[in-house]
Amino acid sequence: MASAKIILRRKKNKDGTFPLALRLTKDRQTTYIYLGKNIQEKEWDGTSHRVKSNHPNSKRLNNFLLKRLAQANDLLLELEVQQPDFTLQQLKDRIANKKNIDTFFGQVDIYLETLQTAEQWNRLTAEQPAFNHFRRFLKSRDILFHDISVQLLERFKAYLKGGLKVSERTAVNYLILIRTIYNRAIKAGVAKQAYYPFGKDKFRIKRPESQKIGLDKEEVTALEQLDIDPTTYEYEARNRWLFSFYFAGMRASDVLLLRWDDIQNDRLYYVMQKNDKPLSLKIPEKALRILEQYQPLRGQGNGLVFPELHNVADFDDKIAVQKKIKYRIQRINKALKRIATRMELTKPLTMHIARHTFATISGDRIPVQKLQQLYRHSSIQTTIGYQKAFMYKSVDDALDAVLDWD
């Protein structure tokens, strides 16, 4: 049972007055919210919990106290109905108009602030839409964690796929983010494991398996040898793609942020933007030939090798830099699409496909431990999971063993 009461605290202020406070009690525990009002001890009626008429503003002050007490009782009743196991701190935060960290979107705000503080702008912009869609689905209202049920999640998934026409993979990614917030709330002590709607015999999230297709060796050779006018952006786009491929599918953002200072003694030293992991690789001869084309630009554009970001004025403005990178990658991919049309490729050709292409061609040729180093994966299981999508030889051999009886 919880209760709220207006009281006069017995700790005297320096001017001889005493502070008025709202006393909150639950399960024999007590906390206080100071109301910013101070009176003389003789001006307080401890029996009726009111300011006596000998105070010059007693009527106005009592109206203020009654209003604050009514607000507290309303919130107390709301919590007892919606969240019977609420804590005294949660009640205090609600009454004091602090951020409702015990609600789903209260935890979302904390999560997004964490990403912003860590300057993880790509994740911030990619994940924000998931929470926006969930908020619209809930008609802009907040929700307590124990109200996120299996049925609600099923309806939200149907809303995503039926109403918004998002893909299965996108819907799954959005649901994974909701689960992430729920797990964080449990760790923070603001959600209960007993209400957890995910897992076996509850709402299960299964990532759809996707077909990851890269170019084969012959297609890469054809791309290398394709006659492209060096004054066109298609020529520049091919250089970015090939450079990425020559370095085990270096991420497009890392290619565009590469600096001449990262190149020492025919080796490349750089830190991956995605996970801040350092990498050092010998520069292949084919990559050296690409770098030679940009030697005349050395010393320009903040020391960047490739010119896409030469006009960026402030690299400390992470949001502006990430937006510029995103725009430049889109431009490169459009040029690559035109090249794919010329080559009559039936496979997509984008900067990300350079990574898939390296995985396709490496196949069974490179030990998985070496691939883990090249990809900079934290866990070898991540490498195994990624690479298995491109390793067909053992399966193909098994099929031939059954069908080849001639």
pLDDT for the residue 119: 74
The two structure tokens encoding residue 140: 């802009």
Alpha helices in 230-317 (DSSP H): 233-246, 252-256, 285-293
The C-alpha atoms of residue 389 and residue 26 are separated, in whole angstroms, by: 56
Residue 364 has pLDDT above 60, yes or no: no
- Please give the C-alpha separations between residue 396 and each of 30, 311, 392, 404, in angstroms, as whole numbers: 70, 50, 6, 11
Number of H-type helices and E-type strands within the chain: 15, 8
Sign, CA dihedral 330-331-336-338, equals positive
How many CA atoms are closer than 13 Å to the CA of 198, on its beta-carbon side? 15
Residues 36 and 14 in one domain: yes
Closest CA to 137 of 108, 170, 159, 119: 159
Residues 229 and 332 in one domain: yes
**Domain C-terminal end among 62, 95, 128:** 95
Query: Residue 180 is part of which domain span?
Result: 104-195
Which is higher by pLDDT, 35 or 155? Answer: 155
The C-alpha atoms of residue 402 and residue 3 are separated, in whole angstroms, by: 76
% of the chain beyond a pLDDT of 70 = 85
Residue 20 · residue 6 · CB < 8 Å: yes
Residues 114 and 90 in one domain: no
- Number of domains the chain is built from: 3
Residue 403 has pLDDT above 80, yes or no: no
Residues 120 and 187 in one domain: yes
Strand-pairing partners, residue 4, are 24
Residue 347 · residue 215 · CB < 8 Å: yes
pLDDT for the residue 5: 93
Residue 402 has pLDDT above 50, yes or no: no
Residue 196 has pLDDT above 90, yes or no: yes
- The arithmetic mean of pLDDT across residues 13-35, rounded, is 90
Phi, psi of 49 (to 5 degrees): 55, 50
Which is higher by pLDDT, 287 or 375? Answer: 287
Give the CA angle between residues 283, 289, 293 to the nearest 5°: 120
Residue 280 lies in a domain: yes
Residue 394 has pLDDT above 70, yes or no: no
The C-alpha atoms of residue 358 and residue 381 are separated, in whole angstroms, by: 18
Residues 119 and 167 in one domain: yes
Classify residue 297 by its DSSP letter: G
Give the CA angle between residues 226, 232, 233 to the nearest 5°: 95
At 74, which helix (H) or strand (E)? Answer: helix 58-82
Strand-pairing partners, residue 5, are 23
Residue 5: burial class (beta carbons within 10 Å; 0-12, 13-18, 19+): middle
pLDDT for the residue 23: 92
CATH of the domain at 114: 1.10.150
- The arithmetic mean of pLDDT across residues 21-29, rounded, is 89
Residue 398 has pLDDT above 80, yes or no: no
Residue 391 has pLDDT above 70, yes or no: no
Residues 244 and 111 in one domain: no
Residue 44 has pLDDT above 50, yes or no: yes
Q: Give the N- to C-terminal CA distance of the chain in Å, as an integer.
A: 83
- The arithmetic mean of pLDDT across residues 37-56, rounded, is 93
Residue 248 lies in a domain: yes
Residue 380 has pLDDT above 80, yes or no: no
- The arithmetic mean of pLDDT across residues 89-98, rounded, is 71
Residues 52 and 122 in one domain: no
The C-alpha atoms of residue 83 and residue 101 are separated, in whole angstroms, by: 14
Tens digits of per-residue pLDDT, 247-291? Answer: 888 889 999 999 999 998 888 887 766 556 677 788 889 999 999
Residue 252 · residue 329 · CB < 8 Å: yes
Residue 386 lies in a domain: no
CATH of the domain at 319: 1.10.443.10
Residues 343 and 227 in one domain: yes
Which is higher by pLDDT, 113 or 182? Answer: 182
pLDDT for the residue 273: 64
Confidence of residue 358 (pLDDT cuts 50, 70, 90): confident
pLDDT for the residue 401: 45
Residue 352 has pLDDT above 80, yes or no: yes
Residue 84 has pLDDT above 80, yes or no: no
In our burial notation (b when 16+ CB lie closer than 10 A, e otherwise), range 349-373 reads bbbbbbbbbbbbbbeeebebeebbe
Residue 227 lies in a domain: yes
Pairing of β 50-51 and β 263-264: unpaired
Tens digits of per-residue pLDDT, 127-173? Answer: 999 999 999 999 988 898 999 999 999 999 999 999 899 999 899 99
Residue 108: burial class (beta carbons within 10 Å; 0-12, 13-18, 19+): buried
Tens digits of per-residue pLDDT, 282-321? Answer: 888 999 999 999 999 888 878 899 999 988 888 888 778 8
Residue 362 has pLDDT above 90, yes or no: no
Residues 154 and 228 in one domain: no
Residues 261 and 330 in one domain: yes
Mean pLDDT of all residues in the chain? 84
Residues 328 and 238 in one domain: yes
The C-alpha atoms of residue 162 and residue 296 are separated, in whole angstroms, by: 54
Rounded to 10 deg, the angle between the 233-246 and 351-362 helix axes is 40
Tens digits of per-residue pLDDT, 210-244? Answer: 556 788 899 999 999 999 999 999 999 999 999 99
The C-alpha atoms of residue 387 and residue 368 are separated, in whole angstroms, by: 8
Residues 325 and 354 in one domain: yes
Residue 372 lies in a domain: no
Residue 73 has pLDDT above 70, yes or no: yes
Residue 117 has pLDDT above 80, yes or no: no
pLDDT for the residue 386: 45
